[in-house]
């Protein structure tokens, strides 16, 4: 395996910039996920690494080789596509070993690789079938098998699970994670699905409009988002944001006054230079106050009293409630011990160590969260 380095990489179509000054290093054996909304440049970035798109400006390196001018077949990469890209006239066996034969591998190597991949992905009983005779999940396993059969330096995945149903996506996520860790593969994975990003990546790269907004571990991205875009894009339901007035050492919105000094790592001098800030609270960090009273009195809790519940969605292990706070529609995720019903009132508590503050104008993180 090898590392991948992108330095000041730009891609434009005419005067339209698609990827803007992207810098990223994927370490040897690391699984990095590029995530973002449609059109953010993540697939274009992957295709530039693969050699399927030319670079407008910048450099890409795999291991100690500059690959800007190398054709795809000389980059020693393996790629799994969203649409499988299988040869319809070939059997599963022929699809898996196609790349090995083309690279001149000997018969014994091909036999061994085929056996290993078939057992790993449970494809033994399908080897003589054509792609048309397979389900979507089986075709995707064949596409993965074709990539894994190669001794590539880097493995690239371009939204490989987007055509599968929810149950199969969950299964294939598990398989991809297992295989990547088992073989210590250097992998770059593109998705618009934040669950895939959070569960698969050693590090996550969040992109928007061709720009990298933040790079970090899944928990760093979740707990310490760099700005409101990352805060609301990562996490389901999205983070709640409330505009609050700065009044001395308090944050005021609706009828509530939050003591700013209780928020982790608050800098009162920075706070004093703002008339308003955005208060960010993830739905997961709300608690039913009747239950949070069981916690230690030393916990840094703040209670929003007399909240009217507009809607309750029971999700099995937990439930989501919708309400209005500070003039904004908001959500909280509560566990099953809370028995609140629609149109009832509830007191919601939040640990102020988990409250985030953002600049109202720049949307950037104003004050860092507590330690992850």
Per-residue pLDDT tens for 304-359?
A: 999 999 999 998 889 999 999 988 999 999 988 899 999 999 999 999 999 999 99
| pTM score | 0.90
Same domain, 205 and 249: no
- Which of the residue ranges 121-125, 185-189, 292-296, 344-348 would you say has the lowest mean pLDDT? 292-296
**CATH number of the domain bearing residue 362:** 2.40.50.140
- 229-248 average pLDDT score: 95
Q: Which domain holds residue 290?
A: 240-367
Residue 232 lies in a domain: no
Same domain, 132 and 64: yes
User: Is 130 found in the same domain as 193?
Assistant: yes
Q: Is the pLDDT of residue 370 over 60?
A: no
| Domain annotation covers residue 372 | no
Q: Are strands 154-158 and 77-80 parallel, antiparallel or unpaired?
A: parallel
pLDDT value, residue 299: 66
User: Do residues 260 and 351 both lie within one domain?
Assistant: yes
> Is 108 part of any domain?
yes
At residue 166 the predicted structure's pLDDT band, cuts being 50, 70 and 90, is: confident
Return the pLDDT at 36: 95
> pLDDT value at position 372?
41
One domain, residues 164 and 192: yes
Mark whether 178 and 214 lie in a shared domain: yes
233 domain residue, yes or no: no
Q: Is the pLDDT of residue 368 over 90?
A: no
- pLDDT score of 295: 60
Per the CB < 8 A criterion, the answer to whether 210 and 18 are in contact is yes
Kindly report which listed range (163-172, 294-303, 339-348) carries the lowest average pLDDT score.
Answer: 294-303
Inter-helix orientation angle 107-120/136-148, to 10°: 140
Rounded to whole angstroms, the Cα distance separating 170 from 57 reads 37
Residue 112 lies in a domain: yes
- Residues contacting residue 349 through CB under 8 Å, at least 6 positions apart: 286, 287, 288, 289, 292, 301, 302, 303, 304
Tokens 């064949």 correspond to: 142
Whether residues 223 and 244 fall in one domain: no
Asked if the model's pLDDT at residue 371 lies above 50, the reply is: no
Query: What are the tens digits of pLDDT across the range 215-226?
Result: 999 999 999 999
> Do 223 and 246 reside in the same domain of the chain?
no
Residues 278 and 186 in one domain: no
Residues 221 and 264 in one domain: no
The 10s digit of each residue's pLDDT in 61-105 is 999 999 999 999 899 999 988 888 899 999 999 999 998 888 888
User: Please, where are the H alpha helices in 83-135?
Assistant: 92-102, 107-120
Q: What is the CATH number of the domain that holds 21?
A: 3.40.50.300
Query: Considering the domain boundaries, does residue 57 fall inside one?
Result: yes
Do 219 and 273 fall within a single domain? no
Domain count, the chain: 2
Is residue 165 very low, low, confident or very high in pLDDT (cuts 50, 70, 90)?
confident
For the cut 80, the answer to whether the pLDDT of residue 200 exceeds it is: yes
329 & 194 share domain: no
pLDDT value for 164: 79
Q: Which structure tokens are listed for 19?
A: 């990827």
Res. 156: pLDDT tops 90: yes
Look at residue 293 and tell me whether its pLDDT is greater than 70.
Answer: no
Q: What digits encode the pLDDT tens for the residues 8-33?
A: 999 999 999 999 999 999 999 999 99
More confident residue, 347 or 294: 347
Whole-angstrom distance, CA of residue 210 vs CA of residue 139: 31
Residue 151: other Cβ atoms inside 10 A: 13
Average pLDDT over residues 42-64: 96
At residue 369, the pLDDT reads 45
Percent of the chain exceeding pLDDT 90 equals 68
Confidence of residue 246 (pLDDT cuts 50, 70, 90): very high
Query: For residue 235, is it within any domain?
Result: no
What value does the mean pLDDT of the chain take?
A: 91
Domain membership of residue 117 (yes or no) is yes
């Amino acid at each position: 395996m090898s590392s991948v380095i992108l330095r000041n990489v730009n891609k434009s179509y005419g005067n339209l910039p698609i990827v803007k000054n992207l810098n990223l290093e994927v370490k040897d054996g690391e699984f990095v996920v590029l995530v973002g909304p449609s059109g953010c440049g993540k697939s274009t970035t992957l295709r530039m690494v693969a050699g399927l798109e030319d670079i407008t400006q910048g450099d890409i390196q795999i291991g100690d080789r500059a690959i800007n001018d190398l054709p795809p077949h000389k980059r020693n990469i393996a790629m799994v596509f969203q649409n499988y890209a299988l040869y319809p006239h070939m059997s599963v066996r022929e699809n898996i070993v196609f790349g090995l034969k083309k690279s001149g591998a000997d018969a014994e190597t091909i036999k061994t690789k085929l056996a290993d991949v078939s057992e790993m992905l449970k494809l033994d009983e399908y080897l003589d079938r054509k792609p048309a005779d397979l389900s979507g999940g089986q075709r995707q396993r064949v596409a993965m098998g074709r990539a894994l059969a190669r001794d590539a330096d880097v493995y690239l995945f371009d939204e490989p699970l987007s055509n599968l149903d929810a149950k199969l996506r969950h299964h294939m996520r598990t398989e991809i994670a297992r295989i990547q860790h088992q073989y210590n593969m250097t992998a770059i994975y593109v998705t618009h699905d934040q669950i895939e990003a959070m569960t698969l990546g050693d590090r996550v790269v969040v992109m928007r409009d061709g720009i990298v907004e933040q790079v970090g571990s899944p928990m760093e991205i979740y707990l310490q988002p760099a700005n409101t875009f990352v805060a609301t894009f990562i996490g389901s339901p999205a983070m709640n944001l409330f505009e609050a007035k700065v009044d001395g050492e308090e944050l005021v919105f609706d009828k509530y006054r939050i003591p700013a000094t209780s928020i982790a790592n608050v800098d009162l001098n920075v706070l004093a230079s703002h008339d308003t800030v955005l208060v960010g609270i993830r739905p997961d960090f709300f608690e039913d106050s009747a239950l949070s009273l069981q916690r230690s009195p030393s916990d840094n809790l703040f209670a929003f009293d007399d909240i009217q519940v507009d809607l309750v969605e029971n999700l099995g292990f937990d439930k989501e409630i919708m309400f209005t706070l500070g003039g904004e529609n908001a959500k909280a995720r509560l566990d099953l011990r809370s028995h609140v019903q629609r149109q009832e009132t509830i007191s919601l508590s939040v640990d102020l160590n988990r409250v985030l503050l953002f600049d109202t104008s720049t949307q950037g993180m104003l004050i860092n969260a507590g330690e992850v």
